[in-house]
């Protein structure tokens, strides 16, 4: 029983002679019920990903080649695509994380408890509108003859067009925010359970303002969560395909759209598409590494400080 | 036997054996109507109900042969990839592909050879020599203009460049849509190029884009209905259907560009590993028959056999294609050349036209 | 702060956990509260406006250059209901989304618990894998799955089962990270150690101390998973297509027939998805015995 309290189970137990026999099933014990998770994902995600990798570096399944990676990484066209995707994803991830976290805070501290179910239901509506439907809804709202466009024109005299264009990085930003902000809100909300009521009360009793509490205690406690959510939102934005395609019709150079074009009607290069996809996975892996490094520095109040 | 007589005997033997083999291959190719009845189901890719009257064609065919039908819409690349990937447990029987994809399908080994009844009636430029894909109908590229919004209807590709059409012209992207490829080729031919010389097309669209006349919304009925797509460029067979559907709501005028008529064919291929091969072959025969071809006309498409000249539509046939094909109609003849060049469209479109 | 757990000897673990679980309540006045409420009004308006535009279009007879439709009618809804595939595809999407939610929950809860209380080093690989669905456009995932299983296990191709497996896989990120944040917040490690000191096995601690506190993560993650699966298009089209037509796949075939019916399908689809998702969350929270924790929440 005391052994269970230690940090992680050792591969084997120390025998009477002091030797440490390595049990064959020890790694499995370490993995535990998580094993089902990894087995499942191995079959459904990891295996196809490895297939993509293999397909991107072989010709007709036989000869090894890095030509496609070389093509992509030296072609300024694709590099611009990566640049645009990164710029757009960083911007929207920052915006969505900031706004979404504030929305979650407001939900917890400013909205009446009775209204919570209704507010969550309204948010649920936003998470269900996506892809082509979302693109059309935004065209109906902000297109040249959109509801809001006409309202702004007739009521306030503001003419959106031609400076504004839905099928641009700016328009995409707006649409991405639509599906990213509720996402951030919903994923961050559980973290507020970690701000103990007693802490706030204690701080207030000791004479601190709410602002000081949040600055010195609240936000630092939430920092690992906020970092995680930022990374997650960045990845989410980076990989967004259907609403971007429906909205811009390929007008903006983004990596997921370029991948889609390789399966479309003018080009047929599944291996190049696979290479681009592998690069995207490498990017998100880099995100996780970055996140882990950054969170190690900011996690000060959580259980990892043992 | 003497040497010379042995030689002759050998030749005769080889000759007879070859004839036997060829006739048995031909016999193997002929669909078995009884077996087709047992197959009971036929699955197609990329043949949606609303396109070229596929709905009625499938209804008539399946009522006659006792089968059910399912279709899933996909791009030509997806269809080829899916046929190939599911070859060990195939589901799809037939697929409609852009004719430019014919050579690609053959190269990937996914198209089955079949030369049935009606094969000879299709012109050479619209079929694969081994029978692996065959053209069924053609569509003419036209402008569909919402006359409630556009007061001065453009009549030519040159007209479209005028500043009065700023932010009005909606096309499908050639990288994702067969109609987009056709739009691009149509302008290319109108500007003096052809399938071996695509530069005029790129130049034209770069100009159009720089003029600010191209509008970036999806080219679909929804946006036309909402008034967000004043001028769309697409096939006459789709424009006619949209015009019918929007009657009373949106007045749509269909215009053939004055630079000339340009059409593109739609091609059918049978899956090499089709699970219902007899039905697939009977279907190919059906759509090349008089009856089948006339059903395409009811969907406003020009039947390939009418283009070839061996079929005429009744004078009172209604609905019928809304455009006329003339003697100076342009079209692609060398599909292999076209398919090679189009591989570059993806990048050239992005860089030369969109400036990415 | 850390010292609290040192006093756990003799506490009832469930009581301790519900004290932890009680969410901080809202303040009643002040600048922060006013700003917060203003933010929420903007957020709700922004969330609901695109749907209002879609709904208006679905009710319109003609709507091109005016602010509001020129006329209203229920024709598109009548047409939608009259379409044969409407109800079956709606049911399929609902069943699929529910199945996906079940699969994802069954996978993620033990995993996230295990990582937090026993094997933190499994965190990074789980995180990397869980981001794959976000990194790849799902067209690529679909075609990779078809190509891979076409070679390895062709019998599963074109079956709804494969679609369910795929949906489960791509929905993992939504649930995983919500639960991860939840676990971190409730300090699952200390709860586990407290329970272990009292003689509980890890799964007993899971059921009685941790699970009741996972309400927020399961609710919000569940909403995202259900919504994602219900509205998913690319995988459904390429993995099963017309053979097992889900609502979005059927809806796509309407876009060039009548856009108002397409919009009507969007409206109804959202209504059904939200209702089903709410129903599931309510039922699940009752299962987890949230009554006590909820009582603590309302102040």
Please indicate, yes or no, if residue B339 is contained in any of the structural domains: yes
Q: Is A186 in Cβ contact with C50 (below 8 Å)?
A: no
Which chain A residues have a beta carbon less than 8 Å from that of B216? 165-167, 248-249, 251
Check whether residue B105 and residue B84 sit in a common domain. yes
Measured CA to CA in angstroms, residue B93 lies from B70, B99, B271, C286 at distances of: 10, 18, 5, 49
Question: What are the structure tokens assigned to A41, written together?
Answer: 């994902």
A297 vs A174: which has the higher pLDDT: A174
**pLDDT classification of B318: cutoffs 50, 70, 90:** confident
pLDDT value at B27 more than 60:
no
Question: In terms of residue numbers, what domain contains A53?
Answer: 24-65
> Could you write out the DSSP letters of every residue in C73-89?
-SHHHHHHHHSTTHHHH
pLDDT value at A93 more than 50:
yes
Check whether residue B199 and residue B345 sit in a common domain. yes
Please indicate, yes or no, if residue A70 is contained in any of the structural domains: no
**pLDDT classification of A27: cutoffs 50, 70, 90:** low
Report the residue of chain C nearest B230, measured CA to CA: C64
Please indicate, yes or no, if residue B21 is contained in any of the structural domains: no
Q: What pLDDT does residue B22 have? A: 55
Query: Closest Cα to residue B47, out of B105, B6, B96?
Result: B96
Check whether residue B97 and residue B216 sit in a common domain. no
Give the least confident one: A23-37, B339-353, C155-169.
A23-37
Check whether residue A50 and residue A106 sit in a common domain. no
Query: Closest Cα to residue B264, out of B347, B174, B345, B351?
Result: B174
Q: What is the mean pLDDT of residues B180-199?
A: 92
Greatest mean pLDDT among A84-98, A269-283, C184-198: A84-98
Give the least confident one: A155-159, B1-5, B73-77, B264-268.
B1-5
pLDDT in tens, C95-143: 999 999 999 999 999 889 888 888 888 888 889 888 889 888 888 888 8
Q: What is the mean pLDDT of residues B147-170?
A: 94
Nearest residue, CB atoms, B228 vs list A81, A145, A251? A145
Going by C-beta distance under 8 Å and a sequence separation of 6 or more, which residues neighbour residue A215? none
Total tally of structural domains belonging to chain B: 2
Check whether residue B169 and residue B201 sit in a common domain. yes
Check whether residue A90 and residue A29 sit in a common domain. no
Nearest residue, CB atoms, B81 vs list A77, A252, A270? A270
Query: B95 in helix, strand or coil?
Result: strand
pLDDT in tens, A153-165: 888 887 877 778 8
pLDDT value at C21 more than 60:
no
C76 touches C260 (CB < 8 A): yes
Q: What pLDDT does residue A7 have? A: 41
Nearest residue, CB atoms, A264 vs list B166, B175, B219? B175
Check whether residue B144 and residue B247 sit in a common domain. yes
Q: Is A250 in Cβ contact with B173 (below 8 Å)?
A: yes
Q: What pLDDT does residue A47 have? A: 87
Check whether residue A52 and residue A173 sit in a common domain. no
Q: What pLDDT does residue C254 have? A: 87
Chain A: partners with 3+ C-beta pairs within 8 Å: B, C
**pLDDT classification of B191: cutoffs 50, 70, 90:** very high
What is the C-alpha separation between B282 and B268, in angstroms, rounded?
Answer: 13
Q: Is B78 in Cβ contact with A261 (below 8 Å)?
A: no
The bridge status of strand B41-45 relative to strand A63-64 is: unpaired
Going by C-beta distance under 8 Å and a sequence separation of 6 or more, which residues neighbour residue C71? C60, C61, C62
pLDDT in tens, B121-144: 999 999 999 999 999 999 999 999
pLDDT value at C12 more than 70:
no
Check whether residue A151 and residue A273 sit in a common domain. yes
What is the C-alpha separation between B100 and B339, in angstroms, rounded?
Answer: 5
* Domain containing residue B273: CATH number: 3.40.190.10
SS3 labels along chain A: CHHHHCCCCCCCCCCCCCCCCCCCCHHHHHHCCHHHHHHHHHHHHHHHHHHHHHHHHEECCCEECCHHHHHHHHCHHHHHHHHHHHHHHHHHHHHHHHHHHHHHHHHHHCCCHHHHHHHHHHHHHHHHCCHHHHHHHHHHHHCCCCHHHHHHHHHHCCCCCCCCCCCCHHHHHHHHHHHHHHHHHHHHHHHHHHCCHHHHHHHHHCCCCHHHHHHHHHHHHHHHHHHHHHHHHHHHHHCCCHHHHHHHCCCCCCHHHHHHHCCCCCCCCHHHHHHHHHHHHHHHHHHHHHHHHHHHHHCCCCCCCC
Total tally of structural domains belonging to chain A: 2
Q: Looking at the domain that runs over C76-297, which CATH code has it been given?
A: 1.10.3720.10
Q: What is the mean pLDDT of residues C176-202?
A: 86
Check whether residue A84 and residue A232 sit in a common domain. yes
Check whether residue B89 and residue B105 sit in a common domain. yes
Selected residues 168-197 of chain A with any CB under 8 Å from a CB in chain C: 178, 181-183, 185-197
Please indicate, yes or no, if residue A73 is contained in any of the structural domains: no
Nearest residue, CB atoms, C136 vs list A193, A200, A281? A281
Check whether residue B221 and residue B146 sit in a common domain. yes
Which chain C residues have a beta carbon less than 8 Å from that of A127? 223-224, 227-228
pLDDT value at A30 more than 80:
no
Average pLDDT, chain A: 83
Q: The pTM is what?
A: 0.86
Q: Where are the domains of chain C?
A: 28-73, 76-297
Check whether residue A52 and residue A178 sit in a common domain. no
pLDDT value at B81 more than 60:
yes
Average pLDDT, chain B: 89
Q: What pLDDT does residue A3 have? A: 39
pLDDT value at C292 more than 90:
no
Disruptive mutation site among A52, A249, A260 for chain B (greatest number of B CBs within 10 Å): A249
pLDDT in tens, B236-285: 999 999 999 999 889 999 999 999 899 999 999 999 999 999 999 999 99
Please indicate, yes or no, if residue A106 is contained in any of the structural domains: yes
Q: Is C136 in Cβ contact with A280 (below 8 Å)?
A: yes
Phi, psi angles (nearest 5°) of residue B266: -105, 140
Which chain C residues have a beta carbon less than 8 Å from that of B227? 63-65
Q: What pLDDT does residue C25 have? A: 63
Please indicate, yes or no, if residue B14 is contained in any of the structural domains: no
Q: Is C227 in Cβ contact with A45 (below 8 Å)?
A: no
**pLDDT classification of C4: cutoffs 50, 70, 90:** very low
> Is B211 an interface residue toward A (CB < 8 Å)?
no
Q: How far is A222 from chain B (nearest CA, A)?
A: 40
B214 touches B169 (CB < 8 A): yes
Q: What pLDDT does residue C147 have? A: 87
Q: Is B167 in Cβ contact with A144 (below 8 Å)?
A: yes
Q: How far is C274 from chain A (nearest CA, A)?
A: 6
Query: Closest Cα to residue C165, out of C229, C231, C227?
Result: C229
Please indicate, yes or no, if residue B124 is contained in any of the structural domains: yes
* Domain containing residue A236: CATH number: 1.10.3720.10
pLDDT in tens, A96-131: 999 999 999 999 988 888 888 899 999 999 999 988
> Is B211 an interface residue toward C (CB < 8 Å)?
no
Domain end, chosen from A65, A86, A116, is at A65
Check whether residue B78 and residue B162 sit in a common domain. no
Q: Is B71 in Cβ contact with C259 (below 8 Å)?
A: no
Please indicate, yes or no, if residue A7 is contained in any of the structural domains: no
Q: What pLDDT does residue B336 have? A: 85
What is the C-alpha separation between A274 and B73, in angstroms, rounded?
Answer: 23
Check whether residue B272 and residue B133 sit in a common domain. yes
Quote the Cα angle for A169-A173-A176, to 5°.
130
Q: What pLDDT does residue A22 have? A: 57
Query: Closest Cα to residue A6, out of A33, A30, A34?
Result: A30
Phi, psi angles (nearest 5°) of residue B164: -70, -15
Check whether residue B345 and residue B232 sit in a common domain. yes
> Is C241 an interface residue toward B (CB < 8 Å)?
yes
Percent of chain A with pLDDT over 70: 87
Nearest residue, CB atoms, A266 vs list B167, B181, B212? B181
Check whether residue A165 and residue A234 sit in a common domain. yes
Give the least confident one: B61-75, C55-69, C283-297.
C283-297
Check whether residue A52 and residue A182 sit in a common domain. no
> Is C190 an interface residue toward A (CB < 8 Å)?
yes
Check whether residue A155 and residue A211 sit in a common domain. yes
pLDDT value at C259 more than 60:
yes
Check whether residue B102 and residue B217 sit in a common domain. no
Check whether residue B338 and residue B273 sit in a common domain. no
Question: What separation, in Å, do the N-terminal and C-terminal C-alpha atoms of chain B show?
Answer: 77
Check whether residue A148 and residue A216 sit in a common domain. yes
Question: In terms of residue numbers, what domain contains B184?
Answer: 139-263+332-353
Q: What is the mean pLDDT of residues B145-170?
A: 94
Q: How far is C87 from chain A (nearest CA, A)?
A: 19
Q: What pLDDT does residue B17 have? A: 60
Nearest residue, CB atoms, B148 vs list C64, C154, C252? C64
């Amino acid at each position: 029983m005391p052994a269970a309290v230690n940090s992680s189970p050792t591969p084997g137990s120390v025998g009477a002679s002091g030797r440490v026999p390595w049990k064959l099933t020890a790694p499995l014990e370490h993995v535990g019920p998580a094993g089902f998770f990894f087995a499942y994902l191995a079959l459904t995600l990891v295996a196809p990903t490895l297939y993509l990798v293999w397909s991107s570096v072989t010709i007709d399944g036989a000869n090894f080649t890095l030509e496609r990676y070389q093509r992509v990484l030296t072609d300024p066209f694709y590099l611009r695509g990566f640049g645009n995707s990164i710029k757009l994803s960083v911007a929207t991830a920052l915006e969505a994380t900031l706004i979404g976290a504030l929305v979650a805070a407001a939900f917890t501290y400013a909205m009446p408890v009775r209204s919570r179910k209704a507010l969550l239901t309204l948010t649920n509506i936003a998470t269900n509108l996506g892809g082509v439907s979302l693109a059309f809804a935004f065209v109906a709202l902000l297109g040249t003859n959109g509801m809001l466009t006409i309202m702004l024109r007739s009521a306030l005299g503001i003419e959106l067009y031609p400076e504004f264009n839905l099928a641009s990085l700016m328009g995409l930003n707006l649409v991405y925010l639509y599906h990213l902000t509720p996402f951030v809100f919903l994923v961050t909300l559980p973290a507020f359970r970690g701000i103990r009521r007693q802490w706030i009360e204690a701080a207030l009793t000791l004479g601190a303002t709410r602002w000081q509490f949040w600055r010195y205690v609240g936000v630092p406690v939430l920092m690992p969560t906020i970092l995680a959510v930022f990374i997650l939102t960045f990845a989410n934005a980076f990989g967004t395909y259907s609403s971007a395609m429906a909205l811009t019709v390929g007008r903006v150079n983004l990596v997921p759209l370029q991948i889609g074009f390789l399966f479309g009607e003018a080009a047929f290069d599944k291996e190049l598409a696979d290479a681009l996809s592998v690069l995207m996975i490498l990017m998100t892996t880099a995100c996780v590494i970055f996140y882990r490094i950054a969170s190690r520095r900011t996690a000060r109040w959580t259980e990892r400080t043992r | 036997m003497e040497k010379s007589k042995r030689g002759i005997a050998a030749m005769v033997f080889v000759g007879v054996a070859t004839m036997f083999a060829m006739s048995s291959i031909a016999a193997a190719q002929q669909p078995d109507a009884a077996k087709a009845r047992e197959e009971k189901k036929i699955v197609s890719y990329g043949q949606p109900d609303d396109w070229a009257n596929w709905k009625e064609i499938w209804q008539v065919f399946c009522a006659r042969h006792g089968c059910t039908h399912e279709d899933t819409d996909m791009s030509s690349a997806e269809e080829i990839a899916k046929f190939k990937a599911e070859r060990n447990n195939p589901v799809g029987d037939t697929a409609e592909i852009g004719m430019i994809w014919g050579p690609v399908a053959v190269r990937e080994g996914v198209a089955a050879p079949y030369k049935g009844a009606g094969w000879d009636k299709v012109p050479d430029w619209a079929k694969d020599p081994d029978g692996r894909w065959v053209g069924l109908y053609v569509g003419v590229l036209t402008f569909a203009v919402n006359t409630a919004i556009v007061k001065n209807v453009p009549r030519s590709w040159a007209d479209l460049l005028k500043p009065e059409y700023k932010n009005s012209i909606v096309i499908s992207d050639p990288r994702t849509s067969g109609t987009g490829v056709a739009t691009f080729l149509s302008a290319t031919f109108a500007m003096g190029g052809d399938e071996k010389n695509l530069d005029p097309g790129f130049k034209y669209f770069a100009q159009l884009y720089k003029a600010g006349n191209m509008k970036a919304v999806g080219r679909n009925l929804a946006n036309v209905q909402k008034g967000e797509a004043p001028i769309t460029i697409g096939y006459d067979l789709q424009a006619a259907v949209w015009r019918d559907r929007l009657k009373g709501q949106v007045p749509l005028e269909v215009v053939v560009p004055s630079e000339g008529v340009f059409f593109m064919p739609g091609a059918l291929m049978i899956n090499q590993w089709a699970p219902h091969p007899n039905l697939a072959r009977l279907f190919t025969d059906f759509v090349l028959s008089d009856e089948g071809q006339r059903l395409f006309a009811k969907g406003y498409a020009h039947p390939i056999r009418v283009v070839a000249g061996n079929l005429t539509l009744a004078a009172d046939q209604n609905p019928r294609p809304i455009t006329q094909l003339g003697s100076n109609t342009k079209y692609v003849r060398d599909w292999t050349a076209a398919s090679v060049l189009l591989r570059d469209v993806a990048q050239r479109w992005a860089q030369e036209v969109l400036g990415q | 702060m850390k010292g609290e757990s040192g006093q756990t000897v003799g506490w009832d673990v469930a009581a301790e956990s519900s004290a932890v679980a009680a969410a901080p309540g809202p303040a009643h006045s002040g600048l922060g509260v006013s700003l917060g409420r203003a933010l929420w009004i903007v957020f709700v308006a922004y969330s609901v406006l695109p749907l209002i535009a879609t709904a208006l279009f679905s009710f319109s007879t003609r709507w091109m250059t005016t602010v509001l439709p020129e006329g209203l009618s229920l024709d598109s809804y009548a047409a939608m209901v009259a379409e044969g595939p409407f109800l079956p595809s709606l049911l399929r999407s609902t069943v699929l989304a529910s199945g996906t939610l079940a699969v994802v929950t069954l996978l993620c809860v033990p995993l996230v618990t295990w990582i937090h209380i026993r094997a933190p080093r499994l965190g990074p690989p789980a995180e990397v894998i869980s981001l794959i669905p976000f990194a790849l456009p799902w067209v690529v995932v679909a075609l990779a799955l078809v190509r891979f299983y076409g070679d390895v296990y062709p019998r599963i191709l074109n079956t709804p089962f494969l679609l369910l497996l795929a949906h489960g896989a791509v929905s993992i990120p939504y649930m995983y990270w919500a639960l991860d944040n939840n676990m971190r917040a409730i300090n699952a490690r200390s709860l586990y150690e407290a329970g272990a000191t009292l003689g509980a096995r890890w799964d007993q601690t899971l059921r009685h101390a941790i699970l009741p506190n996972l309400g927020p993560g399961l609710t919000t993650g569940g909403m995202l998973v259900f919504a994602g699966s219900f509205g998913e298009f690319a995988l459904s089209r390429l993995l099963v297509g017309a053979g097992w037509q889900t609502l979005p796949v059927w809806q796509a075939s309407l876009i060039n027939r009548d856009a108002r019916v397409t919009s009507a399908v969007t409206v109804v689809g959202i209504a059904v998805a939200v209702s089903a998702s709410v129903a599931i969350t309510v039922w699940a929270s009752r299962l987890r015995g949230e009554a006590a924790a909820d009582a603590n929440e309302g102040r």
